[in-house]
Amino acid sequence: MARDLDIRVAIIEDDETIREGYAYLIGNTEGYKVTGTYPSYEDAARKIAHDDPDVLLLDVELPGISGIDALPKLKKILPEAYILILTVYEQEDLIFRALGSGASGYLTKNTPHEKIIAAIHEVMEGGGPMSAHIARMVISSFKRNEETPLTRRETEILEHISIGKSRKRIAQELFIDLETVKSHIKNIYHKLNVHSKADAIKAARDNKFI
Amino acid sequence: MARDLDIRVAIIEDDETIREGYAYLIGNTEGYKVTGTYPSYEDAARKIAHDDPDVLLLDVELPGISGIDALPKLKKILPEAYILILTVYEQEDLIFRALGSGASGYLTKNTPHEKIIAAIHEVMEGGGPMSAHIARMVISSFKRNEETPLTRRETEILEHISIGKSRKRIAQELFIDLETVKSHIKNIYHKLNVHSKADAIKAARDNKFI
DNA sequence: AAAAGTATCACCCTAAACAGGTGAATTTGT
DNA sequence: ACAAATTCACCTGTTTAGGGTGATACTTTT
């Protein structure tokens, strides 16, 4: 058996039972090798560079520095490693912070063992493993609201505003008069019941009109 | 066998071989029922409301109206149905347009048959099935650039700017002086080599600094 | 064909925001 | 202790934003 082609996996998880459970599972699966297990980020930081894992399973609730905050630091220590979040939490803000910080996947802890192995394999093959519910939330985050009160043109103009363009510039880019842009903006403000750019953008974003 | 608890599936796909292949596969799987197969959106539009599927498999390359453009229309006809995109295309803009228009999943056509069945099941259970490569792209779209030249404070201020807030308002919300905000903005502009809000936002977005 | 909705442009007004230059004190992080 | 980051000050002038009121033309729907 080609030991040197094994996928090298490290685990950062404070609960010893869970940590050793994963280590046992992965260590006893052919093609996978556990290079290290750590109960906290602080512990991992010292040894993990030497252990050089391909994939890192990371818990979000850790003593000391949280998994989320540890993520960018771990990314710096191991720029090439894939980091998979393993957690019980399914809060949107946590998920998006983790993905924004460079996590390559997000699994909930009820994930059956064979799926964890599959996820490690998948991330090595260029995939982005997620638990079903997480995937749904991620997809939903892209979904626009069809019930927008804004017309197509108004939506278009609000989008330009939302990237900081001035009315004059919008007018130029859309080949319409500045007065027309102003007119649309007035209508947008009325419909959204706001009196400023910032509030219009916020209202539209919150309601997924843009 | 409880026929009336079957998951009702419809297929819109112009290639007859593929279409009938899927129909055969799904129709012969216990717990699934094919309520209709259509070669185009125009065909589907007439009959699909009556057929009332739970899940709709939708191809993106269709004669006449494309699958992407058909998506919002189909959503109107069948607001409760889940729509799964089935396509050979993996272009980012197509993926995000589809998800923005309300697709609940995105599968590539090399997906093995058992995974298609699994995806239909998954979407009915609250998941968001995606092919591995698609999931990776979706996750990557959230990933920030760690190599940002901006400091934490500068990034924070640029984020406030990007949602349309005025300098004065930013100063108030961050409990710092207006002059300080201006100072940060000057530095941001220098670092990004721009001379306006809009260009700063664009540069930062393009590079995933915010 | 009429009505409703959308998109277009015009002219008025005032206050606020923006962009840029230069310099400097203070606080943080390593 | 040093460098980087954050904070504030004072100066200049130009541009933008927000709001009121009204009107014309093009689409879509009824």
Read off the pLDDT of residues A47-73 as tens digits, 9 standing for 90 and up.
Answer: 899 999 999 999 998 988 889 989 988
Q: Please, which residues have CB within 8 angstroms of residue B55's CB and are 6 or more apart in sequence?
A: B7, B8, B9, B10, B81, B82, B83, B84, B120, B123, B124
- Residue B142: what residue type? F
pLDDT at B2 over 60: no
The amino acid present at B85, given as its one-letter code, is I
Chain D positions with a protein C-beta closer than 7 Å: 4-10, 15-23
Which range has the worst mean pLDDT, A8-22, A59-73, A155-169, B165-179? A59-73
Distance from residue B146 (CA) to nucleotide D8 (C1'), in Å? Answer: 29
- Considering only CB atoms, B128 lies closest to which of A138, A144, A200, namely A138
For residue B64, the model assigns a pLDDT of 83
Q: What is the DSSP letter of A144?
A: P
Best to test chain B binding among A142, A144, A155, A201 (most B CBs inside 10 Å) = A142
Q: Shortest CA–C1' contact from B189: which nucleotide?
A: C19
d(CA A132, CA B125): 8
DSSP code for A196: S
Are A7 and A32 contacting, i.e. CB atoms less than 8 angstroms apart? yes
| C-alpha count within 13 angstroms, C-beta hemisphere, residue B85 | 35
Question: Where along chain B do its domains lie?
Answer: 3-140, 152-206
Give the CA A70 to C1' D1 distance in Å: 29
Q: Which amino acid is at B114?
A: E
Q: Give yes or no for a contact between B130 and B105, defined as CB atoms under 8 angstroms apart.
A: yes
Element holding A137 (H helix, E strand):
helix A132-140
For residue B148 the two structure tokens come to: 């940002």
Query: In the structure, what pLDDT confidence band is assigned to residue A155 with cuts at 50, 70 and 90?
Result: very high
Q: What is the pLDDT of residue A3?
A: 52
The CATH classification of domain B3-140, taken from the options 3.40.50.2300, 3.30.1370.100, 2.60.40.1180, 3.60.21.10 = 3.40.50.2300
Evaluate whether B138 touches B95 at the Cβ level (below 8 Å).
yes
Half-sphere exposure of A124 (CA within 13 A, CB side): 18
pLDDT over threshold 70, residue A2 = no
- Spatial separation of the C-alpha atoms in residues B157 and B191, rounded to whole Å: 14
Closest listed residue to residue A57, CA positions, set A79, A74, A76: A74
CATH code: domain B152-206 is: 1.10.10.10
**Contact across the interface for A138 and B137, Cβ inside 8 Å:** no
Question: How big is chain B, counted in residues?
Answer: 210
Encoded tokens for B14: 């112009």
At B171, give phi and psi (nearest 5°): -55, -45
Distance from CA of B105 to the nearest CA of A (A): 8
Band (pLDDT 50/70/90 cuts) for residue B138 is: very high
Confirm whether pTM is higher than 0.85: yes
Name the strand (E) or helix (H) holding B136: helix B132-140
- pLDDT of the residue at B143: 94
**Any idea what DSSP says for residue A143?**
P
Position B164 scores a pLDDT of 92
Q: What is the mean pLDDT of chain B?
A: 94
Q: How far is B38 from chain A (nearest CA, A)?
A: 25
pLDDT(A19) > 90 = yes
**Which amino acid belongs to residue A21?**
G
* Higher pLDDT among residues A5 and A128, named by residue: A128
Q: Who among B99, B132, B162 is closest to A126 (CB)?
A: B132
Inter-residue contact B160 to B173 (CB < 8 Å) = yes
Output the CA torsion sign for B90, B69, B85, A148.
positive
Per-residue pLDDT at B4? 63
Contact assignment for B163 to A201 by CB distance below 8 Å? yes
Chain B residues with CB-CB distance to A69 below 8 A: none
Structure tokens at A104: 């390559």
Give the residue with greater pLDDT, A93 vs B4: A93
Cβ-7 Å neighbors of strand C: A 151-154, 174, 176-177, 179-180, 182-184; B 166-169, 182-183, 185-186, 189, 195-197
Yes or no, beta carbons of A103 and B132 under 8 Å apart: no
